[in-house]
Amino acid sequence: MTNDAQLQRPIKVAVCIAPGTEEMEAINTIDILIRAGFEVTTASAASDGALIVAGSRGIKLVADVALVSIADDPFDCVVLPGGLGGAECFRDSPLLVEFVNQHKYDGKLVAAICAAPAVVLEHHQMYPQAIMTAHPAFMEQIPEDRRRTKRVVFDVNGNLLTSQGRVPRRSLLWKLSSVWLAKRKQQKWPNRWSCGRTCIMTCYQGCRLFRLTPP
């Protein structure tokens, strides 16, 4: 694929959900990435294949597809929202673990929020060398030498992005967007989002929605 074709191809992101997924971490991630021009697929990792699952607060979340139907499809990024129940479902799903591992082996970006870094990634030793953060309640599950207390941590070598939870989700989403947009612009911060839209996500002076400056 030529460089021009790569720049034109939308960035494909798989956001996984399961019973007990934290609603804000899933919905806000999906919403903001779509606004930024990413092609987002919401995949249910529910053990029964259900597309409609109850989140951590009982709110119904609706997936586009069951994870099994896209298990062999390549994505540029995989996102694992938090919520203890959802993270435990991810942890106990061999399909989800294999899906994440395959994208890790392919050098794709993986992002995990809240409980997911500790309950899923650390439990399965998926990133044994990577630095990461997690919700403070799960921080002790990460070895001290790799544990970071920052709100958002990006391990360059592992291409792993982790966040403590819903409060810093804006920082996570900014970093998630910046990592991919920087790659698309050959490490140069773009004048606007890849979608080319003029909306609240324009970033001439940093994101007007987040009121942050580019990292």
The average pLDDT across 192-202 equals 41
80-126 pLDDT, tens digit per residue, is 999 999 999 999 999 999 999 999 999 999 999 999 999 999 999 99
Confidence of residue 10 (pLDDT cuts 50, 70, 90): confident
This prediction has a pTM of 0.82
The average pLDDT across 149-175 equals 78
Contacts of 134 (CB under 8 A, 6+ apart): 112, 114, 115, 116, 117, 118, 122, 141, 142, 162, 164
Q: What is the distance in angstroms between the CA of the first residue and the CA of the last residue of the chain?
A: 29
Of 77, 29, 21, 79, the closest CA to residue 50 belongs to 21
The average pLDDT across 183-197 equals 45
The average pLDDT across 27-43 equals 89
Active-site annotation holds for 114: yes
**Mind listing the domains of the chain with CATH numbers?**
3-184 (3.40.50.880)
CA distances (Å), 115 to each of 140, 150, 191, 206, in order? Answer: 11, 15, 34, 29
- Of the residues 77, 114, 203, 207, which is catalytic? 114
115-143 pLDDT, tens digit per residue, is 999 999 999 999 999 999 999 999 999 99
Q: Please give the distance of CA 47 from its chain centroid, rounded to a whole number.
A: 21
Give residue 69's pLDDT.
97
Residue with the larger pLDDT of the pair 2 and 71: 71
Phi and psi dihedrals of 155, rounded to 5?
-90, 110
Of 188, 175, 181, the closest CA to residue 79 belongs to 175
Confidence of residue 214 (pLDDT cuts 50, 70, 90): very low
